[in-house]
Structure 1
Amino acid sequence: MSDIETAVPEQRAAKAGSGTPVAEAGPRLPVVPGFARRTNPEDRSAPPSPRAAGKALRRRVPRTSHSSLVLPAGRPDAVRAVEESNQGRVPGLTPIRVGRMAATPFAFLRGSAGLMAHDLVGTPVTGVAAQLCGDAHAANFGLYGDARGSLVIDLNDFDETVAGPWEWDLKRLATSMVLAGREAGADEETCRRGAYDTVGAYRRTMRLLARMPALDAWNAIADEELVSHADAKDLLGTLERVSEKARNNTSARFAAKSTEDSGDGGLRFVDAPPVLRRVPDAEAAAVAAGLGDYLSTVSEDRAPLLARYAIHDVAFRVVGTGSVGTRSYVVLLLDHRGEPLVLQVKEARPSVLAPHLPAAGFDVPDVVHEGRRVVLGQKRMQVVSDILLGWTTVEGRPFQVRQFRNRKGSVDPAALAADEVDDYGRMTGALLARAHAHSADPRLIAGYCGKNDELDEAVAAFAVTYADRTEADHADLVRAVGTGRIAAEPGV
């Protein structure tokens, strides 16, 4: 082989002619789908940088415009919205859901993500998509255990996750801070400030992530740095108490309280209606059989771990506020020592945001399996996810599967002291920005959000207005319960 044939491309170009280097036609490497295109800062014909493109969006969507709320025509009243959202749920459990939503305006907001999505359609959006939590209220952040048993704090509920306008998550979070603050007894300025600080932390965190190398930004703001980054020192005592409880919130503890000797060397669940009840044999067998398909959806390196557990029992367990009435099971597994692992097999319904995305200018993605949608959305948004996340189908219905009581703990935002409301807002705002930056370019959103507090003020004003709307909706629901228009079972 000649020296020309073995030379690198630049050398071949030089030797091919009279000794003068000859530029190759086109780039040396192809553009590979799934990777970014190479950019040349000297190329004046190149498109604007993401930061500049984000800044340019302000001309079309001024940041001050985010204060507006114009309810769309044909908006369903609150009671009809709740009734419609109850369709497809277990009929005997919907009164529990209504009872929980009727407890407070904040509880109503927690159960009405679909109604708020309906209302957000008429609000300004930049057209920038991110993977959304879909239900990013203040109580959907919390602690959970990672693979090594350490505690992580992040978003922790993804039933409604879908790609859509990042503004929707941010406005829902800000509104929830106002309602949680009001329920906690904080004055109106403290509540507004909680929303304002939530947005400010989101904006500043997005700017920080935009300046970082991509890999560093992906894992940025480790939990030990979060309180300092968010200037949330007033929350330290609360977070320490929640962390202590979370460390004890395990499968073993749940099994110790909720099971009994089965008489055949194993354990079985104990009925505790209406929250926990054992299910008929055929139903239990169908759920257990569904775990076979689940195994193919978890990471292959986890299969040997799950193979060390035997399935002992299945029970139905009522969960959450928005999720009440969906089919949700707990499955008891025991290892060779009799130590328990409890999996939650939870029905995955279509995202309540999906029907409203086209009206906001966003495509509705094709969903292969609703459980898969939830799991992939969760993995896209969290820095660390449950190592046993997966999905399955039981009797034709899609389900997500995850660990139950995986050292989970949460702050009750409606029980915060007045001086903690803004701290909690800053912490959750920072976490939401990090989650969005996993799917949306932080440079683009940071360019739009900017340095000043125009967006903070606008979204805080929206949050107060929508909190007032939610209080009116909640009052309508309470009246309907009182007149018997809709059944409710409070206190469960």
Structure 2
Amino acid sequence: MNVTLEGLNPYLAHFRAPPRDRYDEGRSRRDTVPLESHAETPVGPERVDPLTVLQKQNLDQNRVPQLIPLRFRRMSYSPFTYLRGAAAVQASDLAAGPRTDLWVELCGDAHLGNFRWFNCPDRQPVFDLNDFDETLPGPFEWDVKRLAASITVAARINGFPTKKCRAATRSAMREYRESIIAASELSPLDLFYYRFRAEDALERVAQRGGKHRQWKESVLAKAARKNSMRALTQLTAVVDGRRVIVPDPPRIARIDDELAERNWAEISQFFQSYKETLPLDRRVLVDQFSLVDVARKVVGVGSVGTRCLMVLLESDDGTPLFLQFKQATRSVLEQYLGRSVFEQSGQRVVEGQRLIQATSDMFLGWSRWRNNDGHDVDFYFRQLWDGKGKITVEELSPTRLAVFAGLCGKTLAFAHARSGDAMMIRGYLGEDETFDDLLVEYADRYADCTAADHAQLEMAINDGQIDVVRDL
């Protein structure tokens, strides 16, 4: 497919204009979309019913029916888990609000739990956004609002007083705005090479609490242990002389009957199609591994019900490599922002991830599988375990949450600057704290909305309108 840069982001042409003109252009957007408009949230009878949005999403994305009750169970645990699974609901709400049309490659699901660390190709751990199932070009503020709302919701779940909740959200918004300013002053190459080391990120969080060195080292060590050798030990066994992935139902199960009935050659062709999407050097590397086994895996909150599998590869000398391939559906944003320029949804996820992240998984790729019913299912590939780690938000103190939220705001700003025009966004946001304060107001209101939506889900479950199952 021949994709132009302007097709990905119509505002890239502005990079050729002088910085002052771009700043003024961003500032002029306030005439049509005042900053104050961002404090509002959709309320009243005109708001689309959130349960209707979620049920429609299950159908539109052709989720596995047997797993939908598990999805709702996980969303029901708290307003924060509800928000994590309700990207489609917030997308509907954002579409009903103001829109600057200052476009970037959106993560599409930039909630607080989606900022983690992982090993980049040179094996150094970096801190960045992690999941990109909903990525699509769109107005920068949609990501910012999802982040802001998630911080306030998480802080409330932790039982923090209102002042501390707002302080955490304000920290993220201030860091976002100040980092947009910093990014707008970098050269394109400096911006491209900028990355946030995981150790530096954790050090900033750790210093805001007791035993900070032990805490940081413990968190990093736990992530470092998540690698293919560890996965080989924990997830596989030798059966009848052949290494296989050990079932742990229902978390990990043998591949679906439909897949098992298919000729292994078709599975190999599916994997071959993935390899053809890799750069030549990565393809040569993967060609040194053989396909050994495949199993189904249940993951996440919002992702539950989409098809996710893991594949075990092995080289001639016995070196293991675990990859995950996950179903890619249409982004929840496409209904409001238009179809992706990529016809293959797996490619949309991969290309969006590469645009957003400072450095990406070296095994990113995509492929398409045809079901027995003749329907195509798109997938994207990435490593299963590669030094991935996260901070458990629910365990953070108010001070540490505020610092962590600020790191997320900074990370999101640099992510947006890689694909959008940081100078235009800077012009729109301004140099003072007005936007920060308005987004804190938005987050307060949307947290109220999320609590009500969560209560509605709980009521529907208790009334038997929505089926749930016990978690895995």
Give the structure-2-normalised TM-score.
Answer: 0.90
Structure 1 residue 284 displacement after superposition: 8.2
Q: Distance in 2 between matches of 1:353 and 1:273?
A: 33
Equivalent of 2:157 in 180, 183, 186: 183
Structure 1 residue 127 displacement after superposition: 1.3
Q: Note the residue ranges of structure 1 that are not aligned, 5 or more in a row.
A: 1-33, 42-46, 358-362
Equivalent of 1:268 in 205, 223, 244: 244
Match in the other structure for 1:309: 289
Structure 1 residue 239 displacement after superposition: 4.6
Q: Distance in 2 between matches of 1:412 and 1:181?
A: 12
Alpha-carbon distance change, 161 to 334 in structure 1, aligned in 2, over 3 angstroms: same
Structure 1 residue 191 displacement after superposition: 1.1
Structure 1 residue 226 displacement after superposition: 5.3
Are positions 1:449 and 2:429 aligned together? yes
Moved more, 446-455 or 53-62: 53-62
Query: What does the per-residue CA deviation read over 1:247-287, in whole Å, with 9 as the maximum and x for residues that have no partner?
Result: 001122122111110323x3101111111001242358344
Structure 1 residue 439 displacement after superposition: 0.8
Alpha-carbon distance change, 224 to 277 in structure 1, aligned in 2, over 3 angstroms: closer
Are positions 1:69 and 2:41 aligned together? yes
Structure 1 residue 448 displacement after superposition: 1.1
Q: Distance in 1 between matches of 2:309 and 2:262?
A: 10
Give the AA of the match of 2:415: A
Match in the other structure for 1:119: 93
Give the structure-1-normalised TM-score.
Answer: 0.86
- Contact 2:202 2:216 (8 Å CA) reproduced: no
Alignment of 1:283-432 (within 5 A): 285=264, 286-357=266-337, 363-395=338-370, 396-432=376-412
Moved more, 298-307 or 154-163: 298-307
Q: Distance in 1 between matches of 2:15 and 2:168?
A: 40
Q: Distance in 1 between matches of 2:163 and 2:243?
A: 53
Alpha-carbon distance change, 63 to 430 in structure 1, aligned in 2, over 3 angstroms: same
Alpha-carbon distance change, 232 to 259 in structure 1, aligned in 2, over 3 angstroms: closer
Q: Distance in 1 between matches of 2:392 and 2:327?
A: 25
Alignment of 1:466-477 (within 5 A): 466-477=446-457
Q: Distance in 1 between matches of 2:203 and 2:416?
A: 17
- Contact 1:221 1:229 (8 Å CA) reproduced: no
Match in the other structure for 1:134: 108
Q: Distance in 1 between matches of 2:323 and 2:203?
A: 34
Q: Distance in 1 between matches of 2:192 and 2:203?
A: 16
Q: Distance in 1 between matches of 2:225 and 2:202?
A: 26
Q: Distance in 2 between matches of 1:194 and 1:270?
A: 42
Give the AA of the match of 2:288: R
Match in the other structure for 2:236: 259
RMSD between superposed Cα atoms in Å: 2.2
Are positions 1:282 and 2:258 aligned together? no
Count of residues paired in the alignment: 447
Alignment of 1:125-204 (within 5 A): 125-204=99-178
Alpha-carbon distance change, 72 to 316 in structure 1, aligned in 2, over 3 angstroms: farther
- Secondary structure in 1 aligned to 2:419? coil
- Contact 1:334 1:340 (8 Å CA) reproduced: yes
- Contact 1:71 1:122 (8 Å CA) reproduced: no
Are positions 1:83 and 2:62 aligned together? no
Are positions 1:52 and 2:24 aligned together? yes
Moved more, 196-205 or 246-255: 246-255
Q: Distance in 1 between matches of 2:142 and 2:354?
A: 20
Alpha-carbon distance change, 125 to 79 in structure 1, aligned in 2, over 3 angstroms: closer
- Secondary structure in 2 aligned to 1:234? coil
Structure 1 residue 72 displacement after superposition: 7.4
Q: Note the residue ranges of structure 2 that are not aligned, 5 or more in a row.
A: 1-11, 371-375
Give the AA of the match of 1:300: L
Q: Distance in 1 between matches of 2:232 and 2:281?
A: 26
Alpha-carbon distance change, 332 to 212 in structure 1, aligned in 2, over 3 angstroms: same
Q: Which has the larger radius of gyration?
A: 1
Q: Distance in 1 between matches of 2:164 and 2:143?
A: 21
Alpha-carbon distance change, 185 to 49 in structure 1, aligned in 2, over 3 angstroms: same
Match in the other structure for 1:12: none
Give the AA of the match of 1:135: D
- Contact 1:330 1:343 (8 Å CA) reproduced: yes
Structure 1 residue 221 displacement after superposition: 5.1
Q: Distance in 2 between matches of 1:383 and 1:103?
A: 33
Give the AA of the match of 2:294: V
Structure 1 residue 335 displacement after superposition: 1.4
Give the AA of the match of 1:421: L
Q: Distance in 1 between matches of 2:465 and 2:160?
A: 33
Give the AA of the match of 1:107: T
Q: Distance in 2 between matches of 1:134 and 1:480?
A: 27
Structure 1 residue 230 displacement after superposition: 7.5
Moved more, 208-217 or 80-89: 80-89
Q: Distance in 1 between matches of 2:306 and 2:222?
A: 27
Query: What does the per-residue CA deviation read over 1:306-334, in whole Å, with 9 as the maximum and x for residues that have no partner?
Result: 11111111100001111111111100111
